[in-house]
Amino acid sequence: MRKNILPAIRLSLTLIVFLAILYPLTVWGIARFSPDSGKGEVLEHNGKKYYSNIGQSFTEDKYFWSRPSAVNYNAAGSGGSNKGPSNEEYLARVRARIDTFLAHNSDIEKSAIPVDLITASGSGLDPDFSVQAAKVQVKRIAKARNMDESKLLELIDRQTEKPLFGLFGPEKINVLKLNIALDNLK
């Protein structure tokens, strides 16, 4: 028994030092050298400050709408709804999102609505959406702002973030940055 206890104690102490002290300090040190010292990218617009890495709510017709949030965009309560496609409450919520989207985008077919505009992400705070989610909203925004659709499509192309190293992940657009750029058009 003594033969097993001492190695187990040594292993536990080694892992505590490594995982509870050295690893967190290493991650903190790397973050200090990143842009904004690991505190996230803060954007200022119209006198307000926003974190670009946390989803924001946009519901006016003149803006690109964000991905829905399961936590009402509250970063303190990050998390998904944990409800699946067999849950009636979840299905009712998705149907309501579809109906709201179609009411504001009458020229769009139900089948053309991208899934990221009607379902929340796992964290409920996703700041990005797909290029398709942006393009499907162009007609509504062009009408609300009385502007040419081609200008909006150019803006979408400029705001599209390519996959990491051209390989990892899909193309995406940060909704906050897109809407700030939209306000700055003109």
Query: How does pLDDT run across 68-118, given as a tens digit for each residue?
Result: 888 888 877 777 777 788 889 889 999 999 999 999 998 999 999 999 999
Domain shared by 54 and 32, yes or no: no
Q: What residues does 161 pair with on adjacent strands?
A: 172
Q: How many C-beta atoms lie closer than 10 Å to residue 160's C-beta?
A: 15
The verdict on 171 and 95 lying in the same domain is: yes
Q: Do 112 and 27 share a structural domain?
A: no
Note the pLDDT of residue 44: 84
- pLDDT score, position 38: 73
The predicted model gives 44-54 an average pLDDT of 83
Q: What is the pLDDT of residue 98?
A: 95
Query: What's the domain range around 58?
Result: 42-184
Is the same domain home to 2 and 67?
no
| 88/128 same-domain check | yes
Which ranges of 33-87 does DSSP label H, i.e. alpha helix?
A: none
Total count of domains within the chain: 2
One domain, residues 58 and 33: no
From the list 127, 117, 125, the residue with the least C-alpha distance to 78 is 125
55 and 21, same structural domain?
no
CB 118 within 8 A of CB 94: yes
Strands in 172-174's sheet, in edge-to-edge order, are 128-129, 172-174, 160-161
Instruction: Specify the higher pLDDT residue, 49 or 1.
Output: 49
